[in-house]
Amino acid sequence: MKKQSLVNRRTFFKSAAAGVLIGTTSCVTKAPLSITTPPQGRRARIATVCQAGIMRKTIAESCALMMERADKVLEQKPDLVCLPENFATAGMGKNPASEKAEALHGMTIEAAAQRARKHHCYIVCPSYTQRDGKIFNSAIILDRKGEVAGIYDKACPVATSPDYTVLEDGVTPGSPDIPVFDLDFGRIGIQICYDLGFPENWELLRKKGAQMVLWPSAYDGGFPLWAYAYLHHYYIMTSVRSGQSRIVDPCGAVLVETDKDTPFVMRDVNLDFIVSHLDWNVSIPDKIKAKYGDRVDVRRTNPGCGHILVEPVDPVITVRALQDEFGFESSFEYHDRNRAAYADIRAGRKPSPQNARHGVRPQWGKF
């Protein structure tokens, strides 16, 4: 599996400073975020498939193609497989959405459900769906028994008429209150294709405690996905019809990606992870590795980045236990502590003392 070079953070910060992205750690107006605490995550094998631009003329033919690819990745015993956006109707061009939509137990979804049951694996199956007299661009979460465990309806379908009166040839936008879904290994969110252009959706998923976001799409997506992963500190797994499908870590590093010879990739991840700032924590990576070795993955995926990712490999070890033992907090907590001080000083008050886990150890040196 090929690794991609890491994101150019300088370009990213220029974009953020220009107002392209929201949800940053701005020190100007942001109040501390109210973030819902998710259930404790655990280790799981996640997998994604790429359609690689191959499209058939009929729904049945396109469905068969992608189910064949799904069958190959399912041999590797993943816990979750994500398929590309509307893969079964990719070859139908500008046909009205009404001709592409199916019921929740239609041919495409049922084909994926059979595999979810057989392999005891979650499968995210994107499809146009027809429900309550409306058509949605949906991603259906099928649980390990092949039952529908949740549905995300694309909140931001793209306009396909020049006067912006028709969305995706007849699709209704989903709720702007983007849902999250608790699987048995962690909390996930989903965005689809054009949702990429709406940063408020991605920030909302962070506020709701998403530990991983899936992005089925018609196209590759590229840099913005790495930026969202970095900004919000969650895993992002893409599954696309063209370009490359990828798994991106919570510091914005591409871990694995598909290529012309590898139409699917996978990765073992633990959704019980934490991203911390190196301030006050310079020695934390060395101390954790000295005691636990390969039982905990501690990585700094970009030497110029001030963040570290701590992710237990041994299921017996939890992030909370590591925090208690070594005294460190998330980067979000660190930024919020500074925000609280800014607010007091700007209001003419002396900042209230705070008791952080790091105590009085050196802020930038080894300890």
Read off the pLDDT of residues 302-356 as tens digits, 9 standing for 90 and up: 778 899 999 999 999 999 999 999 999 999 999 999 999 999 999 999 999 999 9
Q: Does residue 309 sit within a domain?
A: yes
pTM greater than the 0.85 cutoff: yes
279 and 170 belong to one structural domain: no
Q: Does residue 351 sit within a domain?
A: no
- Per-range mean pLDDT, top range of 6-20, 88-102, 165-179: 165-179
Q: Does residue 353 sit within a domain?
A: no
Going by pLDDT thresholds of 50, 70 and 90, the confidence category of residue 301 is confident
DSSP of 86-124, one letter per residue? TGGGGGGTT--GGGT-B-TTSHHHHHHHHHHHHHT-EEE
171 and 304 belong to one structural domain: no
218 and 342 belong to one structural domain: no
The last residue of a domain, from among 228, 245, 269:
269
User: Cα(116)–Cα(327) distance, rounded to whole angstroms?
Assistant: 41
280 and 242 belong to one structural domain: no
**CATH number, domain containing residue 236:** 3.60.110.10
Q: Does residue 247 sit within a domain?
A: yes
Residue range 143-152, pLDDT digits in tens? 999 999 999 9
255 and 285 belong to one structural domain: no
Count of structural domains within the chain: 2
Q: Which residues of 250-286 are buried (b: 16+ CB within 10 A; e: fewer)?
A: bbbbbbbbbeeeebbbbbebbbbbbbbbbebbbbbbe
Which residue type occupies 81? V
Q: Rounded to the nearest 5 degrees, what angle is found at the Cα of 220, between the Cα atoms of 215 and 225?
A: 55
217 and 82 belong to one structural domain: yes
The last residue of a domain, from among 200, 235, 269:
269
Parent domain of 235: 9-269
Tokens of 271: 């959704």
59 and 193 belong to one structural domain: yes
CB–CB of 341/350 below 8 Å? no
Q: Does residue 220 sit within a domain?
A: yes
Q: Does residue 132 sit within a domain?
A: yes
Going by pLDDT thresholds of 50, 70 and 90, the confidence category of residue 134 is very high
Count how many residues are written for the chain: 367
Strands 180-183 and 148-153: unpaired
Longest dimension (CA), the chain: 69
pLDDT at 20 over 60: no
pLDDT (average), residues 12-35: 40
Q: Does residue 79 sit within a domain?
A: yes
174 and 196 belong to one structural domain: yes
193 and 63 belong to one structural domain: yes
67 and 198 belong to one structural domain: yes
- The confidence score (pLDDT) of residue 38 equals 84
The last residue of a domain, from among 204, 236, 269:
269
Q: Does residue 365 sit within a domain?
A: no
247 and 322 belong to one structural domain: no
pLDDT (average), residues 176-187: 97
